[in-house]
Chains A and B, each alone.
Chain A
């Protein structure tokens, strides 16, 4: 295999040496309206990747083909096209602009100018990403791109993040977009050994990112074929620019705290309500006194202690980040080098994320025709993780403990729940649940990831307009996970004298892309771009793990010191993908635009019957403002309607899902055994999504107002689904192509430049509406956790269950609507106190109706202020732990939320909170009682900066200096009474079942809230 992808490179070199120069050199200077030189302007030969950028005085030199057109672009300025003609020098003055309509946009296997685009694409630049106190770039673009919904699962650091481009297009497959870094699709598989997903994308330093492009419709994304149904995110890293070497130093530091704390009963309230519940359950006064004494650390007065357990697990968490980069070069060789150290503590004790990352990007022109380069990033991240939300050791579950229980047990002067100091064994004087602080005190789960993400390329200009590019990418993710749980945790772990777990995984992918691009303009009217290429990918995931117990003491934490190895395993799985792709764009007169693309993918994941898939797309655009009758219209400066249709696929499934398999994992106490694990599905093939999109881009008043509106419909058919089958077959699901779903929606984005001049104010607004609906499941609903379902006719993850009808004023019983169908076809709205008699109905939808963002940017003199509000509306949250802490002790002694004080107490009481009865089960069944409105608006980021005047900076030999303060999640507006409305409990995000991970959305289960972070920092250029 190796020689296969080396050959193209070798070919390229051969061709290069035989090439002869046919180019000319153009030099020039780019200035702003006032005539000052503009540094850092991108100068690109149109239709190629040949480019440079201006030096500190705005000057540049570039070799171009005869007849070339230069595209000059810089953030904040209108992009300008300059035909070189016969000139060798050009002088260009750029007009300032707040919009980016003319900028070069990165697309699959190439770039295009925004004006020529016929697909729906959103591009964000480095100023939108990075420099924020977050671990991964997705977190910093929340609310920035229409149609892209981003949700953190919890406030734990480095955890999985849901990114949804135009809704969810799969039930059992991957639903995250395809990430492509510098042309190479990268690994994004969750490798966590726990069922809480981690985020491999966090290995990418957000400050290395030059631009992020989200390909949303099929015409933009179909060139990525079988992996494009969830959208494609193209990440381009920063590149060097010729000129003096420029250094940038960044430092910021700050602190995080939880966005919100939940209110629980204090000691007095706890004793009152628990006593009432115990009496209601018929327990005797003597037994109740004993119980309270047991809970209160053995003291007679149960009000002796008043512990706010939440305070014991939340912390003010420091954050600091150091960035240093250098870039520069000359016309032949350009480089960008960066390094970062980031250190963030979680808002929950014991949680910490650290990253060291480096990058080295070099572009070199070997001669006039051959360019070669490397993009290499190496990083190490270390995540001190916390137990999953559903673990008794999850620090957030500490809220279950009684407030009357002391933090330090007076009998032992140790943390409550510690081992008996006399025997070293557990004893009976423990709080009624395991105290999670014990696991913080003597437990750890460290994940260290070493990531190598690199690619090399060679690009050869063969003849005028025709270039050939060969890319070879290697992405290696090495992960180690080491867990240790000391003796003190034995009530939760088992009395095994310590518990150790260690896992190593290597996920590696090799990608080779070869493609040719041809661009030409015929008769000045017909401009044509053709791309044709092949791609081959081979990936292998290997992992192994060991579990051991019996350590000589808690000082020994590695498995070398485990005297009993209790489990071990290794896994290896491979897949390959072979692809052929092409694209043609044609423009007539710069106003009639046509694009077609297609990809033909073959994947090892599918049965040999259905191994290849074809993914075509076509699009049309009309740049109406280029027409004579609109060209100089005073109001309408830009108008471009466009439409597209195309098909994409999804192959984000487990390998070998099409086969009937046996596994030898069923040994019995050391005796080998085997069992069937799956049934055959020989016709298994891609999920395919057909998407139609209609959009219009517009600019008004010389682009003072600009915007984009899109409507789309995505129909996914042949869902590759783990559909439920009768358990009596010995299996619970079968993987096959059944069913279909649909996303339809609208996106709107608008940018207005409210003030220009010394004081500038720009507003960017976007809003998206997506309606997801499972149109056909060809079978029963797929049950998720709690009330989450995949159900025909409903959106994915809909909550289906009994509908809570409040409390019977007569006896305080929880009531549920029968919701059965009467003989005449009407719905019976009678009530019952037997939840089993209530028909399950739709009681909530975790998918937001609307999402959006509003960013305002102000600048005056050296000051700038940017604030982004994000909004998520119309979604429900299922408070999964409500059945424990919001049920008036009906489910045990867990401390209760304060709203339980509104319980029914006597006949005639009108309330929504049923009678408190200890272990009475009254109202604890899963129902709409625990469904909450999850809408929220949030001041996601706000940053105030001051740029020192250049004159001052230069006095201290600096090119630039900026100081700033910023805040993340400072204010949240929501009706949700839980910790935080941005929630998706972690233990249901990374389970072995991808269906379950997709279905279970919007569930809160002792989930850590988001951090509220303040930082101050400086950026210095020299």
Chain B
């Protein structure tokens, strides 16, 4: 009897344990997949490319924070940030702290997306046709270049500020991360090295991409002209005016794009209209289900209404300028707001044709060329759409003023201020004039990044 009892007891103790349960420890994830299975087919790599676009859509990229911070940092009193969020507030006061949340996230998000593009570029061989390979390579390099261009502009001295061959830019990371090692502690490349990489990648991308992107859903994805538009912007930043005008001309002369009939139409398309307008060359797509238009959150009077538009900007518009229709002015003298971002799920225009006219006009004007059209004609094209009379003569100031008004609040001010060596003002009491090369107009390398990587050199003043 006792033997039976002990036998049973032992069986009981062991049942449900050694025999059965070890295998129970092998539990597979269901909401995500192992990295080794993620990039095996052609479709996998294409999906990874789409993930890169999603990264651009992030609030800390072109979902709005890059544009907002650029405009606030450069602003000299045309707008006021009146919201309670500290990171943009610091930018508006030109007193950015090392731990500024937006500055940190813009950096980490950009490198996250760069790593996604690097994963795509490292797996081009998985794509099943040469055409796909060319397209995916072109798009991934476009995205990577776009991020490096904004990183180097925000976190380093401008191309025109001192010697780009020795000025520190941002680290160039060009291969996917699979493990953390000593090599992860990268150093900052020079400004010139970053620009060289951007130009190399964009030149390749422009060659790889066809005019009509076969995978292009309503123009969501980058095509050859998106690349040319970015090239035009990069060359302009480097004051390579002829090259900038030529790149802009490639976009304009393609005939694929045209200005919307009114300025407001470009910004007030109805909610949830996916795809681009006739004027958009490349836009961040936002829908009720994907992404968020942070410019709507900050600028719109219907939302936080964090940015007031001051008379200093309003007064620069000529009377009758239809672009004023997008500034909501309170007749009682209360604060004015921009109406540019009132569409809750409006797409965010990253490259639109109007910029190309302005780039071509300025590039031609300053290079003394007339690629595609005379600068005066390009400026008048912009003015005409705004409901203004054409100019008969043209100065550089006319071009820059037109650019400032046409592209207001779209994230252009900081780059333009620096390349044109303008100054801005810290509106404290008393106000302090900050020259274009003031260290206060350059983001700090984020504190978390300096902590994690001793090889990174902090910017001056932080």
Q: Which residues of A contact B (CB under 8 A)?
A: 1, 4-5, 7-8, 11-12, 14-15, 18, 280-282, 290, 294, 400, 425-426, 428, 430, 432-434, 462-463, 468, 470, 490-491, 494-496, 512, 514, 516, 532-534, 536, 538, 549, 564-567, 571-576, 578, 580, 602-604, 608, 611, 655-656, 659-664, 666-677, 679-680, 724-732, 734, 779-781, 783, 835-836, 883-884, 891-894, 917, 919-921, 924-926
Contact = CB atoms under 8 A, between A and B. Distances in A.
Contact of B53 (A490, A564, A668, A924): A668
A305 B444 CA distance: 44
Given A290-B334, A724-B451, A575 B27 contact: yes
Contacts of A780: 448, 451-452
Contact of B32 (A428, A578, A662): A662
A107 B44 CA distance: 53
Contacts of A667: 50, 54, 290
Contact of A672 (B31, B50, B427, B456): B50
19 contacts: A7-B16, A8-B15, A11-B8, A18-B5, A282-B429, A495-B302, A516-B9, A580-B17, A662-B32, A662-B34, A668-B290, A674-B44, A679-B177, A679-B180, A727-B112, A728-B449, A730-B116, A919-B92, A921-B428
B395 interface: no
A921 B95 CA distance: 8
A516 to B, nearest CB: 7
Contacts of B431: 282
Contacts of B452: 724-727, 779-780
A428 B5 CA distance: 83
A567 B54 CA distance: 15
B154 to A, nearest CB: 14
B12 A920 contact: no
B86 A18 contact: no
Nearest to B119: A676
B451 A673 contact: no
Given A573-B30, A669-B220, A836-B461, 11 more contacts: A281-B428, A281-B429, A496-B288, A512-B16, A576-B24, A656-B32, A673-B51, A674-B51, A675-B51, A726-B184, A726-B449
A729 B177 contact: yes
A11 B83 CA distance: 69
Contact of B448 (A532, A734, A783): A783
A729 B180 contact: yes
Interface in B31-83: 31-39, 44, 47-55, 57, 80, 82-83
A437 to B, nearest CB: 17
A727 B108 contact: yes
Main secondary structure of the interface of A (DSSP, over half): mixed
B129 interface: no
Nearest to A786: B99
A888 to B, nearest CB: 13
B301 to A, nearest CB: 6
B93 A921 contact: yes
Contacts of A655: 27, 29
A659 B178 contact: no
A376 B104 CA distance: 50
Nearest to A577: B25
Contacts of A430: 305
A783 B27 contact: no
B9 to A, nearest CB: 6
Contacts, number: 316
B289 A432 contact: no
A494 B12 CA distance: 61
Given A534-B13, A536-B17, A729-B173, A573 B31 contact: yes
A728 B118 CA distance: 12
B16 A8 contact: yes
Interface string B110-136: 011011101100000000000000000
Contacts of B116: 675-676, 730
A432 B308 CA distance: 12
A564 B294 CA distance: 20
A12 B11 CA distance: 11
Contacts of A660: 34-36, 178
Contacts of A668: 50-51, 53-54, 57, 220, 285, 290
Contacts of A574: 27, 30
A726 B186 contact: yes
B429 A656 contact: no
B436 interface: no
A549 B288 contact: yes
B180 A428 contact: no
B16 to A, nearest CB: 4
Interface string B88-101: 01101101011100
Contacts of B319: none
Given A566-B289, A659-B34, A919-B93, A462 B5 contact: yes
Contact of A679 (B48, B179, B274): B179
Given A725-B180, A919-B93, A783 B447 contact: yes
B26 interface: yes
B99 to A, nearest CB: 7
A345 B34 CA distance: 47
Contact of B11 (A5, A11, A725): A11
A4 B16 contact: yes
B422 to A, nearest CB: 22
Interface string B147-190: 00000000000000000000000010100111110001110000
B88 to A, nearest CB: 12
B303 A663 contact: no
Interface in B1-20: 1-2, 4-5, 8-9, 11-17, 20
Contacts of B16: 4-5, 7-8, 512, 514, 534, 536
